Structure 1
Amino acid sequence: MPGTHCCVRNCFSSTHDYRGKRRDHVLRFFRIPTWKKHEGEHVSDVTRRRRMSWVAAIRRKDITFDRISQSMRVCSLHFHSGKPSYEMLENHPDWKPSLRLGHSDVKKTDEARFQRLVKRRTQHQEQLLLPPQHLEQPPCPAQHPEQAPPLVQHQEQPPCPAQEQAPPSAQQPHQEPAQECALCPYRRDVINSLLEENRKLKEELEEYRMNENFLSGDDNRVKYYTGLPNYLTFQTLLLSLTPYLPQGRLKKLSPFQLVLLTLMRLRLDLPIQHLGRLLRVHRTTASDAFHHTLSVMYSRLSPLVYWPSRESLMASMPHKFVESFGGNAAAIVDCFEVFIEKPSNALARAQTFSQHKHAHTMKYLIVVTPQGVISFISEGWGGHASDKHITEQSGFLDKLMPGDVVLTDRGFDIGESVGMMCAEVKVPPRGRAQLEARDVEEAGATAHLRIHVERMIGVVQNAFKFLRSTVPVNMLLKCEGENVMALDKIVTVCCALTNMCPSVV
């Protein structure tokens, strides 16, 4: 039979009748509360006892603390107010179901008793606000004994009760105001101090909530947490990504928090559990937020890493490159490696072990223009692959045109592969005295130019510490429905974000 049914014994409330037609009533159905184990010790203890109280009130053999079906519901007929109370109000009569339970093992709660308890607590708190010297003084003559002190809004001074209750003759123009009672000044000071304390607490809370005001107007904070140069750049990035972010599934986090969480993960290499704690969400939610936002950033920011036309290169070629190569310098090429965890598969261990780093790595080919802009980034290759093999297989050579000059290291032995498409300039790593005189002269003229790509690699890895850490093996798996690894997305996004920053050249 379709619809929702109440799980309390001898209660036949349901949303639909036996024909499957929805009933026309105002009954509501509520889930049995869960045990919140990850929101602090106090919350955990209260929610655990509340779940136990509900199970004891329902009193069914098939419902235990650890075995409750997701379809179990309790209707509003079993609560005084028609719904459960806030979980922290343990003395509230609706903290657990207590009406029409089908048995007499649970005592029916008394709503009037709860109201008397609230009244006693309120009176006790009001007495704590009074100074000791005023405890024995009578109330203001013009104020009724049972009348509560007036409320103050917007931090204005509260009027004296004697003035509010004064006879009409005292409110006529040119009449002297009524005298304040003995408690009025003290009450006014207490209320103002509480309002000021409340304002300061709200400011402190806003500071730690990491909402839209967290980075507002503070370029140094933006650079530290995101790697971007200023707040305006961050706002531009946020506006371009917001329409594509997964807001429905991850509704606990705003678009600002989704982007901030992802950038903090890349920039500071913070663990997912710590990021979830900062943003007050579960670790699983933080992990989903990171991977979904990363996919959006990869698809939207990948065009920022593009191969420029020869005309645009010529128009903005630095003067030092023009002197050395006549404006034909197209790219500066190098490889960098990212450390990964040791794979469990023997073949994967062999493919990823780097003889240069003596560790398991993923290697990427990076290409930088003479202007200091990243124009190409390859997919990840195992650290065992040679620089020449990656260069030939990555698709980089297809972008070159006849006459282009590429600056490389001596490890890039790609002259035969390039053929007549470009001229390769070799730069020795060290020990120029062992080379021929012609090579020494050529190396000295170009070494200071090729250093730009090494500076760019340093900028990318220093700006985004995630690339300097040891990446988990699960980052090397192909993303669902895509032929790209999560680590490839991260490297591409980091390069695109670097292009959004001022060039180091």
Structure 2
Amino acid sequence: MFRIVNLKEKPDVIQFYTGFDNYNHFMFVFNLFGDEVNFKVKYYPSLQPARGKHALTPPDQFYLTLIKLRRNMCNKELSFHFEVSKTSVSKYFITWINYLYCKFKDLNLWVPKETIDQNVMYQRKINNCTVIIDCTETKIEKPQNPISQQATYSKYKSANTLKVLVGISGSGCVTFVSDAYGGSISDRELFEKCGIINLLQKGDIILGDRGFNIQDLVSHMDVTVNMPQFLKKGFNQFEAHQLRQSKKLSSERINVERVIGLEKTFKILSYKLSSNLVPLGGRIIFVCFMLANFRKNIM
């Protein structure tokens, strides 16, 4: 039987199933939620507390949720391991995804420019851009509705996807994850709609790839967008200073690709998201990125 308390002396098992280093690391994250997980959590779909002699403890519910995210076990397999019904597995997972989403959404992870400048000045460890942005897509099962098929079809992935915009600080901490949009949306349109503009202030610096041709959207705010340059028409190569600048930007921008790579360690997002989980897709993606922030070595 899977019980987190039985794994205190098995850090390799905990790391395999949750991504956390050991039992103490797991409990540190769980204890951040406080006592409310024992009294205030209302379970889908009845919105009543979990009861009965076979009800899992809150730490085991959290553990089950992490296993589902990290290993993408089917509900039937999880029901065998935890000795609960498939219905209970679904109830716990949906409840905890919504709970984690709401708790993490309340956190203010955005790092303002003045804080970044202080780190650059005193620690000289990170670059001075406010946020490094990129988009990532998660494949989903093809919707039956033709309008949904069109809205979620990504030419880039040649599949139906959910697309989010991710922003990280120069040190690699995830500071922004947008809501999920259909894969047909462009990077520019997603940037414009997702709300990140409301977080920007005068003097901020954004680092993105060539898909984010967005300077006109933020120029009135005195915000700078740095991205690798396009090769001008009539030229077959960059000038030396342009090449140096592009290499420097690429070396800094690769950090967001590494963080996005952590998302794919959650196997639920490495395969097509089943149609019954697509309505929760945006929250699942958000929770996975927030959990990645608790890794000791993000970069």
With the shorter chain as reference, the TM-score category is 0.7 to 0.9
Q: 1:345 corresponds to which letter in structure 2?
A: N
- 1:442 and 2:245 are equivalent in the alignment: yes
Partner of residue 454, structure 1:
257
- Alpha-carbon deviation of 1:305? 6.1
Q: 1:474 corresponds to which letter in structure 2?
A: N
Partner of residue 90, structure 2:
287
What secondary structure is seen at the aligned counterpart in 1 of 2:6? coil
- 1:422 and 2:227 are equivalent in the alignment: no
Q: For the Cα contact (< 8 Å) 1:409–1:429, is it kept in 2?
A: no
Number of matched pairs: 282
Q: 1:491 corresponds to which letter in structure 2?
A: I
Gaps in structure 2 of 5+ consecutive residues: 44-48
Q: Aligned equivalents of 1:471 and 1:337: distance in 2?
A: 11
Q: 2:273 corresponds to which letter in structure 1?
A: V
Partner of residue 274, structure 2:
472
Q: Aligned equivalents of 2:238 and 2:298: distance in 1?
A: 31
Q: Aligned equivalents of 2:185 and 2:4: distance in 1?
A: 45
Q: 1:488 corresponds to which letter in structure 2?
A: G
Q: For the Cα contact (< 8 Å) 2:119–2:125, is it kept in 1?
A: no
**C-alpha RMSD of the superposition:** 2.3
Partner of residue 296, structure 2:
502
1:349 is matched with which residue: 149, 160, 168?
A: 149
1:222 is matched with which residue: 3, 6, 14?
A: 14
Q: Aligned equivalents of 1:250 and 1:361: distance in 2?
A: 37
Deviations 1:120-146 (A, max 9, x none): xxxxxxxxxxxxxxxxxxxxxxxxxxx
Distance change >3 Å, CA 233–CA 320, structure 1 → 2: closer
Higher relative contact order (CA 8 A, sep 6+): 2
Distance change >3 Å, CA 491–CA 305, structure 1 → 2: farther
Partner of residue 124, structure 2:
319
Partner of residue 490, structure 1:
284
Partner of residue 109, structure 2:
306
Q: 2:177 corresponds to which letter in structure 1?
A: I
Partner of residue 57, structure 2:
254
Q: Aligned equivalents of 2:297 and 2:242: distance in 1?
A: 30
- Alpha-carbon deviation of 1:321? 4.8
Q: Aligned equivalents of 2:58 and 2:30: distance in 1?
A: 8
The alignment's TM-score, normalised by the length of structure 2, stands at 0.87
- 1:380 and 2:180 are equivalent in the alignment: yes
Partner of residue 213, structure 2:
413
Which structure: larger Rg?
A: 1
- Alpha-carbon deviation of 1:401? 1.4
Partner of residue 234, structure 1:
26
- Alpha-carbon deviation of 1:458? 0.4
What secondary structure is seen at the aligned counterpart in 1 of 2:30? helix
What does 1:142-181 correspond to in 2, within 5 Å? none
Identity of aligned residues (%): 28
Distance change >3 Å, CA 413–CA 245, structure 1 → 2: same
Q: 1:397 corresponds to which letter in structure 2?
A: I
- Alpha-carbon deviation of 1:449? 0.8
Q: Aligned equivalents of 2:125 and 2:115: distance in 1?
A: 17
Q: For the Cα contact (< 8 Å) 2:162–2:281, is it kept in 1?
A: no
Deviations 1:414-453 (A, max 9, x none): 01101143211112699x9733444322102221111100
Q: 2:16 corresponds to which letter in structure 1?
A: Y
- 1:358 and 2:154 are equivalent in the alignment: no
Distance change >3 Å, CA 283–CA 444, structure 1 → 2: same
Q: For the Cα contact (< 8 Å) 1:400–1:422, is it kept in 2?
A: yes
Partner of residue 20, structure 1:
none
Q: 2:245 corresponds to which letter in structure 1?
A: E
Q: Using the TM superposition, name which of 487-496 and 228-237 deviates more.
A: 228-237
Q: Aligned equivalents of 1:449 and 1:250: distance in 2?
A: 50
Q: Aligned equivalents of 2:4 and 2:257: distance in 1?
A: 36
Q: Aligned equivalents of 2:83 and 2:247: distance in 1?
A: 55
Deviations 1:293-351 (A, max 9, x none): 222222223344621233332233473655xxxx3x10100000000000011111011
What secondary structure is seen at the aligned counterpart in 2 of 1:474? coil
What secondary structure is seen at the aligned counterpart in 2 of 1:473? coil
What does 1:34-45 correspond to in 2, within 5 Å? none
Q: 1:265 corresponds to which letter in structure 2?
A: K
Q: Aligned equivalents of 2:68 and 2:116: distance in 1?
A: 34
Distance change >3 Å, CA 504–CA 285, structure 1 → 2: closer
Q: For the Cα contact (< 8 Å) 1:316–1:371, is it kept in 2?
A: no
Distance change >3 Å, CA 212–CA 447, structure 1 → 2: closer
- 1:337 and 2:137 are equivalent in the alignment: yes
- Alpha-carbon deviation of 1:259? 0.8
What secondary structure is seen at the aligned counterpart in 1 of 2:295? coil
Q: For the Cα contact (< 8 Å) 1:265–1:271, is it kept in 2?
A: yes
Q: Aligned equivalents of 1:346 and 1:455: distance in 2?
A: 35
Distance change >3 Å, CA 428–CA 389, structure 1 → 2: same
